[in-house]
Structure 1
Amino acid sequence: MKYRKLGNSGLKVSEISYGNWITHGAQLEDVLAKKCVFAALDQGINTFDTEDVYSDTRAEALLGTALKGISRESIVLSTKVCHPTGTGPNDQGLSRKHIFESCNASLRRLGTDYIDIYFAHRFDPHTPLEESFLAFSDLVRQGKILYLGVSEWTAAQIKEGARLSKRFNIPFVASQPQYSMLWRVIEGNVLPACAEAGIGQMTWSPLAQGILSGKYKAGHSLPTGSRALDETGSRFLERLAGQWMQYDALDAIQRLIPIAHECDLTLPQLAIAWILQNNQVSSVIIGASQPEQIQENARASGIVLQSSIMQRIDEILDPFIERNPECTG
């Protein structure tokens, strides 16, 4: 496993992170979920990502239990705040009240004294940004969070956040956007804004909700055990990857498999390695329903793809790539 600095900070994260969105506490039994965490540790993954609302808080609690007994100093732990955690009017957003209450609740569930990277998971248009960043600043001073990040913010929102982070002296170092061979909406505006502010990327959905695994084939039934057959997964697949569930796009993805084999990689490994060719990416967050998936995908760390390979990938996928920056968020 290779490690990269997160933005301009001194924090080193593994090139591959393990995230437990829609797996821990939902798709996976507790024992299997813990085996996935242990498999990640065995592969040298030091960075773990979760959120307070994943599986109605069960994901945080399960990750905290799985990591119990692991040296806290040896891992980088990130979680998020913004989405609704209850039915009350203050149970969501980035108000000072919700930030403080959510952070304390996450600390309890994770069984830790501090969060390495605390992400503002979406922009909150209903709360003054100064209020949010002052709250984050206070949590930094209290030692409850070490670094601040944002997820799915636009370039303009990131620039304003960077300005306020300097004003309040907050180590704002991370962005967590969706990014893959097929989803490149951050390249036009978000990446330049982050580069200017010294913010690194911890990207999610490297396989475009499984589309880039190659398991979905035009004219074939959905494969047994695929996310598309799960009620929760099918909803996300329709929302995030439905545009590629068409014959031409699926056929193009199948044409990537020989390229992956030329590089002695599987298609998922090629998809993850492709993201890591971007030096603004600090880490790629992967999910898994089996420990073997983590073992396979972790091998994408350290892979260098030739420019000719990158060009061939672009030529095949070009008609299906989403680049519209307005899709951010």
Structure 2
Amino acid sequence: MDPYVAHQDRYDTTEYRRSGKSGLHLPRVSLGLWQNFGGDRSLESQRAILRRAFDLGVFHFDLANNYGPPPGSAEENFGRILSEDFARYREEMVITTKAGYVMGQGPHLNGGSRKYLLSSLDSSLRRMGLDHVDIFYSHRPDPDTPLEETLTALHHAVTSGRALYAGISSYSPAATREAARIMRELGTPLVVHQPSYSMLNRWVEDGLLETAADEGMGTVAFSPLAQGLLTSKYLDGVPADSRAGVGRPSWRENMLAPEVLERVRGLNSIAEERGQTLAQMAISWVLRDRGEQTVTTALVGASSVQQLEQNLAALETPGFTDEELRRIDEYAVDSDVNIWAWATNTRP
């Protein structure tokens, strides 16, 4: 394959926002590597997606220690492509990783302990061939570890030079406010919160977006397509190669309940009237103007270059009228697709 040279005009039309009150900027749509970048996917297809994303102004790439399958393989694949294609562009890129979910057996490969977080970060850096990441997250709250221990680990990750910024993911509004207080006192303010957010998963509107804004944190919304529900994929059945069809652990059968699919079809009709795909409208909706509570960036996945381009086209459509938002609200009802609440047996 020919050496990669990024498009010179990649920033000409890129939209980006500051993450909270920090100096860190993120593109309005970022690329998440949770799905489609593990050992079960072609390295060359991953390379093509990453190249095209960067050429289109996407410079934020989101990973975690357990992304795969198998766990760790997404970081390994990304690290290989980074060294072969993107080494000269490293200073332009925002690369993030997380720790908190299960990486293996034993008490120190899961949770929010100082030992797990910092050991995991060191392993992530080795897998990606980096000396630091731009953001290191606590991937989820851990009720069995004192919050202060988790946060001092994030603080140490920054002060030791292994990360430039610290963030949290899926914390409740109250826990977010307390975490922000502790980190300010330590001298390493949290710059970002990464929650799940979609038209079928609106828990962040119940205080979290307001809390993040109050605390000077940006918001990175992941799963804006509700695990693929907010696409045309499930309008006429369950495709064999879909997440539901192959039984991915991030999927539950009740996500395809008749009342949920009826809401999806209603939303699809509105998207068609707007000249968008359902996926494009779902991304646009997450990024809609909410004043100080506006989401900083939406994390999207991509299984192909074509899918990536279609998702990024969400930025090219006009905003929503009040009437469109009212109609969307008739169908955009919480539908129990918050898999992170299931994983921790608690609602964030």
TM-score (norm 2): 0.86
CA distance in 1, matches of 2:335, 2:157: 42
Alignment of 1:200-219 (within 5 A): 200-217=218-235
Determine helix, strand or coil for the equivalent of 1:211. coil
Q: 250, 256, 266: which one pairs with 1:245?
A: 256
Match of 2:174 among 143, 156, 161: 156
Q: Is the 8 A contact 1:78 1:118 kept in 2?
A: yes
Q: 1:87/1:2 Cα in 2 relative to 1: closer, same or farther (>3 Å)?
A: same
Aligned letter for 1:128?
P
Amino acid at match of 1:129: L
Superposition pairs of residues 1-329 of structure 1, within 5 angstroms:
1-55=14-68, 56-68=71-83, 69-70=85-86, 71-217=89-235, 220-232=236-248, 235-238=249-252, 242-277=253-288, 278=290, 279-301=293-315, 303=317, 304-318=319-333, 328-329=347-348
Q: CA RMSD in A?
A: 2.0
Structure 1 residue 319 displacement after superposition: 7.9
Task: Please give the alpha-carbon distance, in whole angstroms, between the structure 2 residues aligned to 1:274 and 1:255.
Answer: 15
Whole-angstrom distance in 1 between the partners of 2:224 and 2:185: 34
Corresponding letter in the other structure for 1:82: G
Distance 1:253 1:150 in 2: 30
Amino acid at match of 2:272: H
Q: How far apart in 2 are the matches of 1:271 and 1:243?
A: 20
Structure 1 residues 135 and 252: CA distance shift in structure 2, 3 A:
closer
Number of aligned residue pairs: 320
Moved more, 186-195 or 164-173: 186-195
**Partner secondary structure for residue 325 of structure 2:** helix
CA contact (8 A) 1:117 1:146 kept: yes
Distance 1:319-1:34 versus aligned 2 partners, 3 A rule? closer
Q: Distance in 2 between matches of 1:104 and 1:33?
A: 24
Q: Which moved more, 1:247-256 or 1:153-162?
A: 247-256
Structure 1, unmatched stretches of 5+, are none
In structure 2, the gaps of 5 or more residues are 1-13
CA deviations on 1:95-137 (whole Å, 9 max, x unpaired) are 2222221111111111212111111011122222222222222
Task: Give the letter aligned to residue 140 of structure 1.
Answer: V
Q: CA shift at 1:318, angstroms? A: 4.2
Which amino acid in the other structure matches residue 310 of structure 2?
E
- Write the letter of the residue equivalent to 1:309: E
Deviates more, 1:257-266 or 1:95-104: 257-266
- The answer to whether the 8 Å contact 1:49/1:79 transfers is yes
**Distance in 1 separating the partners of 2:156 and 2:263:** 49
Look up the SS of the partner of 2:332 in the other structure.
helix
Deviations 1:56-115 (A, max 9, x none): 100111112222242111111111011222323222222222222111111111121211
8 Å CA contact 1:2–1:302 kept in 2: the answer is no
3-state SS of 1:236 partner = coil
Opposite residue 60 of structure 1, the aligned amino acid is E
Provide the C-alpha distance between the structure 1 equivalents of 2:334 and 2:74, rounded to a whole number of angstroms: 37
RCO higher in structure (CA 8 A, sep ≥6)? 1
Contact 2:166/2:191 (<8 A) preserved: yes
Distance 2:265 2:285 in 1: 16
CA shift, 1:172, in A, is 0.3
Mapped contact 1:19–1:286 kept (Cα < 8 A): yes
Give, as a single letter, the amino acid of the residue that structure 1 aligns with 2:271.
Answer: A
Q: TM-score, normalised by structure 1?
A: 0.91
Equivalent-residue separation in structure 1 for 2:117 and 2:130 (angstroms): 17
Q: How far apart are the structure 2 equivalents of 1:175 and 1:133?
A: 13
